[in-house]
Amino acid sequence: MTQLDYQTSDFAYDTGPSAPDDGPSDCAGLPARIAIFGDRAVMRDQIEEDLAGAGFHTINGGSFAKLLDGPIALLGDAVMVDCPVVDAAALAALARLDMRAARSGAQLIVITSIDALNDVFAVLDQSDPQILVQPSRAERVLAVGRVMTNISNARMREMTEEDRLGLLHLSRQVEAIAHKLEGLSGAPDAAMTQAALRAHSGGSQAIGFAEAEVFEGENGQRFNSERPPLPKPRHVRQLIAARQARAKFFDGELFADPAWDMLLDLTAAHAEQARVSVTSLCIAAAVPATTALRWIKQLVDSGVFVRVADSSDRRRAFIALSEQSTDAMARYFAEVETPIAHAA
């Protein structure tokens, strides 16, 4: 394991006034401790080292099995769990932890693999956790930084101006350390994750809807115009294939548009009456899985997508278009269906 020196000529990470090992990490009421669980001792140690270097206080909770022993104790404002492989017992522990986190308001970060993603996603439906798929060291630190921001935002009204400056200072430290870690790891994780996604299959912006066309009836009632039919699935699949073909000739990042790629995939699946797993949707997004999961979360939160539980198997969950999104996609394709039909 590469040893990271946090006191270098390039970076000097001063986390502010010193505090006892078991005390808060700063004056702004930021997360005092990040509890770390996982069966891989080397991974736990690396996570602890990176987070400590970023100014966070950590608790090495030991193996994942400890989450099964008696009541789950949340030892801080956040819990990070490393579980690349899951079995029935591990999923049960995750479900319990998810419920406890939801009740207490604690932030949950779960690190997993492509193979375990569908199962992990299905059982984590209470606490709105962050799910990281084969993340780099930098992505782990940034995930904790986002947790810190979530918690501090909830307490913002209680913060003084000095507290806010301390938060800004610490946030910048986290970002700087993440960049340094990215350099140490060589940043191969994004490409590796995408390759793993395809093998397995065998940022922020505002998201919303344009206003639907509304008519007023004779009695003053208001209603939407009749929805046109969705296009034939093969037309949507042709459009998806054409978008993917661009990567043969140009850098794929030039055209990164995960929200639209996922909308197209779910539109085709809706017309095919097929269910779409979270892993499959990550593949359709054509971005690293962790990035795709953040987009999926934002799109679910904003009502563009809906999470659909499998009524016959609680260990599975799917993603689908919301009714409003289905209506919007039908109207979009009705407007452009003539050129698409000609292209077919």
pLDDT value for 224: 52
Question: In the predicted model, what is the mean pLDDT of residues 45-72?
Answer: 80
pTM for the complete prediction?
0.70
Share of the chain above pLDDT 70, in %: 63
User: Region 283-292: what's the mean pLDDT?
Assistant: 90
Q: What is the DSSP string of 97-117?
A: HHHHHHHHT-EEEEEE-HHHH
Q: Give the integer Cα–Cα distance in Å for 238 and 229.
A: 18
> What local confidence, expressed as pLDDT, does residue 15 receive?
34
Stretch 75-103: mean pLDDT: 87
Euclidean distance between CA atoms 21 and 304, whole angstroms: 44
Nearest to 30 by CA among 123, 145, 191: 145
31 in Cβ contact with 107 (< 8 Å): yes
N-terminal to C-terminal alpha carbon distance within the chain: 54
Q: How confident is the model at residue 110 (pLDDT cuts 50, 70, 90)?
A: very high
What are the percentages of helix, strand and coil residues in the chain, rounded to 5?
Answer: 55, 15, 35
Query: How far from 244 is each of 203, 248, 252, 284, 309, CA to CA, in Å?
Result: 21, 8, 8, 10, 30
∠ CA 148-31-294, rounded to 5°: 30
The CA distance from 295 to 278, in Å, is: 11
Q: What is the CA radius of gyration of the chain?
A: 23
User: ∠308-134-261 over CA atoms, to 5°?
Assistant: 50
Q: Facing residues of 82 across strands? A: 38, 111
Gap between the Cα atoms of 250 and 157, Å rounded: 47
> Of 78, 76, 97, 77, which Cα lies nearest the Cα of 86?
97
Nearest to 190 by CA among 252, 248, 242, 146: 252
Percentage of the chain exceeding pLDDT 90: 28
Asked which of 9-13, 22-26, 335-339 is least confident by mean pLDDT, the reply is 9-13
Half-sphere exposure in the Cβ direction for 302 (13 Å, CA)? 15
Reply yes or no on whether the pLDDT at 284 is more than 50: yes
- Least confident range from 200-204, 242-246, 305-309: namely 200-204
Give the three-class secondary structure for 316. coil
Dmax (CA) for the chain in angstroms is 75
Q: Which residues contact 160 (CB under 8 A, 6 or more apart)?
A: none
Its sign, for the CA torsion 263, 265, 271, 273, is: negative
Mean pLDDT of 217-241: 71
Measured between alpha carbons, how far is 288 from 135 in angstroms, rounded to an integer?
Answer: 9
DSSP-assigned beta bridge partners for residue 59 = 35
Cβ atoms of 292 and 285 closer than 8 Å: yes
pLDDT of residue 82: 95
pLDDT higher at 195 or 48: 48
E strand or H helix at 266, and its extent?
helix 258-272
For the chain, give the mean pLDDT: 74
Token output for 318 = 């799917």
Cα angle vertex 57, ends 56, 58, to 5°?
A: 110
Q: Are the C-beta atoms of residues 155 and 127 closer than 8 Å to each other?
A: no
- pLDDT single digits (tens) 28-51: 444 457 889 998 999 999 999 988
Alpha helices in 19-77 (DSSP H): 41-53
